[in-house]
Amino acid sequence: MPKVPAVILNNGVEMPRLGFGVWQVPDRRARKAVATALEAGYRSIDTAAVYGNEKGTGKALAASGLPREELFVTTKLWNSDQGYDSALRALDTSLGKLGLDYVDLYLIHWPQPARDAYPETWRAFERIAADGRARAIGVSNFQPAHLDRLIDGSGVVPAVNQIELHPRLPQAELREQHARHGIATEAWSPLGQGKGLLDNPLIARIAARHGRTPAQVVLRWHLQLGNVVIPKSVTPSRIRENIDVFDFELPAADMAELAGLDDGTRLGPHPDRVG
Ligand code: NDP
């Protein structure tokens, strides 16, 4: 079984560099998908309140028999729960559904700049961390200005910023800012949501050269940039394929060719416009 290396977050907590994403996996299918991922060696699971599959995810975690300390569970606070008291309550609800006493990572899902509640939400997150109900706290979809505001206002640097990131949107500016502050970069839609990106002829050529699949090449590209990745699949063979990426390396020439795929394409909305 592949052994997934860890990144050490800015509070000393270890997070697997590759995990399993469950967006768009219906709750009734989450149990099986997560169970397959755990059998394949994944120990990090990325869910969110809004995915509606915390219950199915929690059932798979419980049924696995794996010790809690070997698992790394991330969930996210949904937009309608931003604010101090509502954030504390939202975590209670998520923990209840997951069947857990704590999560490993709790993220603010979107900054919602027009609403401007994220600094107050972050105060609740600080309390959540102090109470041990999340081992690490972070954000998702934060732009440079939102990160600056959070850090300047609270002095507490998020452990992680989970952002849309794939070869067509490599997010150089954010990655550079993260590196300066010691924030781990976590890539969502790391495979560009599969179709399209994985059919790209350049990626196919590089994959053929290494005797690997396009998805494996893209995941290697991420890992070599220093990103944490959370590919999603409900297909058992792909779930196994996506974790089997720790025994080969892309040479600098391949990395340079892949850098040429940057065309700024976003699959999701721009974070400034999610309100
Ligand atoms: P991914 O980039 O992980 O791609 C998933 C798609 O690719 C699925 O359609 C899957 O198909 C297909 N796929 C997976 N592996 C392979 C493979 N080896 N070969 C060919 N096709 C493959 O997209 P997601 O958008 O799901 O992103 C991953 C995770 O990131 C999410 O599940 C979620 O946890 C997180 N996320 C967070 C967001 C945020 O705002 N914070 C926003 C979006 C995602 P199939 O399942 O049919 O096998």
pLDDT digits (tens, 9 = 90+) for 146-186: 999 999 999 999 999 999 999 999 999 999 999 999 999 99
Task: Dump the DSSP string for 14-62.
Answer: EEESB-EE-TT--HHHHHHHHHHHHHHT--EEE--GGGT-HHHHHHHHH
Give residues with Cβ within 8 angstroms of 245, minimum separation 6.
Answer: 2, 18, 216, 219, 220, 223
Q: How far apart are the CA of 111 and the centre of ligand 1, in A?
A: 22
* Domain extent listing, the chain: 6-193+225-234
Span 183-216, pLDDT tens digits: 999 999 999 999 999 999 999 999 999 999 999 9
Answer whether residue 2 shows pLDDT above 90.
no
Q: Show the tokens assigned to 208.
A: 């053929």
Ligand 1 and 57: CB distance under 6 A: no
Give the sign of the dihedral formed by CA 111, CA 113, CA 117, CA 118.
Answer: positive
Ligand 1 and 162: CB distance under 6 A: yes
Give residues with Cβ within 8 angstroms of 155, minimum separation 6.
Answer: none
Q: Whose Cα sits closest to atom 10 in ligand 1?
A: 233
Which pLDDT score is estimated for 8? 98
Residue 250's closest CA among 231, 223, 226? 223
Answer whether residue 109 shows pLDDT above 90.
yes
Q: How far apart are the CA of 235 and the centre of ligand 1, in A?
A: 11
Map tokens 């800012």 to a residue.
177
Distance in angstroms (rounded) separating the CA atoms of residues 43 and 33: 13
Distance in angstroms (rounded) separating the CA atoms of residues 19 and 2: 12
Which pLDDT score is estimated for 171? 98
Ligand 1 and 19: CB distance under 6 A: no
Reply yes or no on whether 51 is catalytic.
yes
φ/ψ of residue 251, rounded to 5: -70, 165
Percentage of the chain lying above the pLDDT 70 cut: 100
pTM over 0.85: yes
Residue 231 alpha carbon, nearest atom of ligand 1 = 3
Residue 48's closest CA among 79, 17, 69? 79
Average pLDDT over the chain reads 98
For the chain, the distance separating the N- and C-terminal CA atoms, rounded to the nearest angstrom, is: 42
Answer whether residue 58 shows pLDDT above 90.
yes
> 6-193+225-234 — its CATH code?
3.20.20.100
Q: Return the percent helix, strand and coil in the chain, to nearest 5.
A: 45, 15, 35
| Interval 106-110 mean pLDDT | 98
Answer whether residue 66 shows pLDDT above 90.
yes
Ligand 1 and 140: CB distance under 6 A: yes
